[in-house]
Chains A and B, each alone.
Chain A
Amino acid sequence: MKSNNRFVLYIRNIFVMTKSSKIRFILTFIGILFSVFGFAFALIISDSYFESRRDIYSSFASNSLLISSNQPSEDKINLFLENKNYSSVFIDVISKNYYFIDSFDSINGQSVSITTTLHGVETTEVVSQYDGMHYMPFLSSIKNGRGINWGDIQSKEKTVMIDEYTAELLYGSIKDAIGQSIVIDGGRGLVSEQTSSSPQKHSFIISGVCENSKLTEHNRVENRKKIKKGSDNVIINIDLYCPISTIFDLYPDLDYYRNYIVTFGSQNEANDFYNKTIDTNGNQYGISYIVSKDSLMADITLQMKETKRIIVLGILLLSFIFGISIISVVFFATKERIPEIGIRKAFGAEKLDIVFQIFCEMLLISGLASIIGVFAALYFSKLLEYYLINELCIYFVLNITAGDIVTPIFVGVLQSAIFGMIPGIYGASIPITDALKFE
């Protein structure tokens, strides 16, 4: 480096002085590293969590309400049946139990167990899927074949609709799935529940393939990963939709609960209905819960705000505590440097030059620590994403915004620069002759 340049000379001074003040460097570095890491990590994870949920909710049918009742109670359901504004009702009867289809071993010669959630339905524009919290209605369109119709319901047809993912998984393509038969072995779970008769195998003909929802897209990717990894025990859950009357007919003693997905002519009508079910205290009466796209979105936005507020409050508090320790560390380090400050002033440095120099040194330390802290946060959130998806099978997509990276760096740098400057101002204020003699 050529020293024939004041800027280079200045930078070199900053570097050397930063490096030589070891205790300050190490302690400030560690402090900033951890606080920036914590802040960035908290922001990334909370943002990602909420964005993942939003992502799911965005594919939720907007003019449909999911009315769920843990116990089938006709009285309660009358509430909406009396309301004539809806255009269709999707009655989804979900078995609490899993049913084996088969031990399936065509994928890389690997044995893959497939379990089914059987939904008894009336119409097929909207399908229901479990998002980890509750079943939710998703808009869906038929990709191939046909959906379940009133004819199937009346004749208690043993026909099912599957989604694209299931079709590809079991038959290679959505075309090849149509007309295939799928055997549901009522074995597992039923044995303990159904004591009157022994488990029965039932064969269903696939009549149609419907579009994937976000959740199935996600499951598809994750299941592929599992299969690729060559895990011994790959268990894949799929959803099948069959006429509701068929379920009642084949499994009369089935332990089940009902979801009614009511589709209205417009979103406003859906909202009106949703609001009618809320009493003055804000509780939903009569039914265990009703969810709508709007109510879920509003919930998540509120939660997001609250979480952000807690994070920011925590950071402010931590920044203050860190700030005080930074002051003491830098104060300690500055005391050793008072003669140096005196020398610089004797050769023309003003008080402001000294403060600025210490500011730059702190900027260097905290900048470095912040960047490493943010990278660590990125790395660990990637790790967490991997863990959540692969080990816990939770729908989680990392969502990293510029703010998640810039804000922690900004706070970390500002915090150290401001708190670090306080001892700097003290050091720069000592008269030159006293500074030079300072021990």
Chain B
Amino acid sequence: MSGISKTYDGNKFVLNDLSFSLCLGEIAIIMGPSGSGKSTFLNILGLLDKASSGKYLFNGNDLCEKRNKKLYSFIRGEKIGFVFQSYYLIETLTVRDNIMMPFLYSDTKITDEIEDHISEYAQLFGVTELLDKKASLLSGGERQRVAIIRAMIKKPCLVIADEPTGNLDEKNGETVINAFRKIAGAGTAVVIVTHNSGINCPEGKRFQLCEGKLHEIK
């Protein structure tokens, strides 16, 4: 994407002529002070919000040219997995149904393989016992891990994670990062926003967001 600008009130530009690109299989780690516009950037990247101006090429689709809501929903459902800063699970559904949610609005067949994946991830993130519990009963850290499984379960091209380790202890945080590295190894592009500069990901490209622009840190 290039030349992305975003303003909420018409005066102050949260993102200003920002450019960013990422290939499949790459990890981008984005840091920046609170209020610098990281979430805003992720929202635009994840097609939840539209930029005030700029160009966005996703997998060969030019997404700023025409406003095609159907295409946006399709890409959100099929190609992008989102981990929100505040998790956003549906409280009344079970953990399993929350994880299955991305399949609800797509034509992808729900195979036994997918069930196996859920069990695998649940095992990996230590939430196996929680699968049939209601989401409202979970702790913050547990929610975060469930949200991560939900984002990854469909093997999207792009996983976007806003503070995915914010509420996790060191050991769980590492498990999560390793899981991201693993799916990147399998060909998914991953964008992570974090305040934790000590994150262990040697192959990740690191970026700093300030004054509405992204600067890569070598």
Interface residues of A (CB under 8 A from B): 3-6, 9-10, 12-13, 16-17, 19-20, 339-340, 342-351, 353, 431-433, 436
Closest to B78 in A: A348
A347/B77 contact (C-beta < 8 A), A3-B100, A6-B103, A9-B97 known: yes
A3 to B135, CA, bound (A): 17
Given A20-B92, A346-B48, 19 extra CB contacts under 8 A: A4-B110, A6-B104, A9-B104, A16-B92, A19-B92, A342-B88, A343-B89, A344-B90, A344-B104, A347-B76, A347-B82, A348-B78, A349-B73, A349-B77, A350-B73, A353-B105, A432-B48, A433-B43, A436-B48
Inter-chain contacts of B104 with A (CB < 8 A): 6, 9-10, 13, 344, 347-349
29 A–B contacts, CB within 8 A, in A order: A3-B115, A4-B112, A4-B115, A5-B110, A6-B104, A6-B110, A9-B100, A9-B103, A9-B104, A12-B97, A13-B93, A13-B97, A16-B92, A19-B92, A346-B46, A346-B82, A348-B73, A348-B74, A348-B77, A348-B102, A348-B104, A348-B105, A348-B106, A349-B73, A349-B77, A349-B105, A350-B105, A436-B48, A436-B84
A154 to B73, CA, bound (A): 98
Inter-chain contacts of A353 with B (CB < 8 A): 105
Inter-chain contacts of B90 with A (CB < 8 A): 340, 343-344
Those 7 A-B pairs whose CB atoms lie nearest each other, nearest first: A348-B77, A20-B92, A348-B105, A350-B73, A349-B105, A432-B48, A347-B102
Within 64-119 of B, Cβ neighbours of A (below 8 Å) are at 69-70, 73-74, 76-78, 82, 84, 88-90, 92-93, 96-97, 100-106, 110-112, 115
Closest to A2 in B: B115
Contact A350 B70 (CB under 8 A): yes
* B contacts with A: majority SS: helix
A3 to B104, CA, bound (A): 11
Least distance between A347 CB and chain B CB atoms (Å)? 5
A340 to B96, CA, bound (A): 16
Inter-chain contacts of A350 with B (CB < 8 A): 69-70, 73, 105
Number of interface residues of B (CB under 8 A): 32
**CB within 8 A of B76: which of A20, A348, A436?**
A348
Least distance between A15 CB and chain B CB atoms (Å)? 10
Inter-chain contacts of B93 with A (CB < 8 A): 13, 16
Indicate whether B49 reaches chain A with its CB closer than 8 angstroms. yes
A233 to B44, CA, bound (A): 87
Interface residues of B (CB under 8 A from A): 43, 46, 48-49, 69-70, 73-74, 76-78, 82, 84, 88-90, 92-93, 96-97, 100-106, 110-112, 115, 150
Inter-chain contacts of B97 with A (CB < 8 A): 3, 9, 12-13, 16
Inter-chain contacts of A346 with B (CB < 8 A): 46, 48, 76, 82, 84, 88
Closest to B109 in A: A6
* A contacts with B: majority SS: helix
A5 to B88, CA, bound (A): 24
**CB within 8 A of B73: which of A5, A17, A339, A345?**
A345
Closest to A437 in B: B86
Inter-chain contacts of B112 with A (CB < 8 A): 4
A4 to B101, CA, bound (A): 12
Inter-chain contacts of A431 with B (CB < 8 A): 49
A53 to B61, CA, bound (A): 73
A9 to B153, CA, bound (A): 16
Closest to B100 in A: A9
**CB within 8 A of A339: which of B82, B88, B100, B115?**
B88
A3 to B100, CA, bound (A): 9
A431 to B93, CA, bound (A): 23
Least distance between B166 CB and chain A CB atoms (Å)? 17
A340 to B136, CA, bound (A): 13
Least distance between A353 CB and chain B CB atoms (Å)? 5
Least distance between B131 CB and chain A CB atoms (Å)? 10
Name, among A4, A9, A340, A346, the residue most crowded by chain B CB atoms within 10 Å (CB to CB). Answer: A346
A104 to B117, CA, bound (A): 86
Inter-chain contacts of B96 with A (CB < 8 A): 3
A177 to B79, CA, bound (A): 92
Inter-chain contacts of A5 with B (CB < 8 A): 110
A342 to B88, CA, bound (A): 9
Inter-chain contacts of A344 with B (CB < 8 A): 90, 101, 104-105
Name, among B49, B74, B84, B101, the residue most crowded by chain A CB atoms within 10 Å (CB to CB). Answer: B101
A345 to B75, CA, bound (A): 11
A16 to B93, CA, bound (A): 7
Least distance between B211 CB and chain A CB atoms (Å)? 22
Closest to B77 in A: A348
**CB within 8 A of B88: which of A3, A10, A343?**
A343
Closest to B88 in A: A343
Inter-chain contacts of A347 with B (CB < 8 A): 76-77, 82, 101-102, 104-105, 150
Least distance between A325 CB and chain B CB atoms (Å)? 25
A17 to B48, CA, bound (A): 23
A13 to B150, CA, bound (A): 16
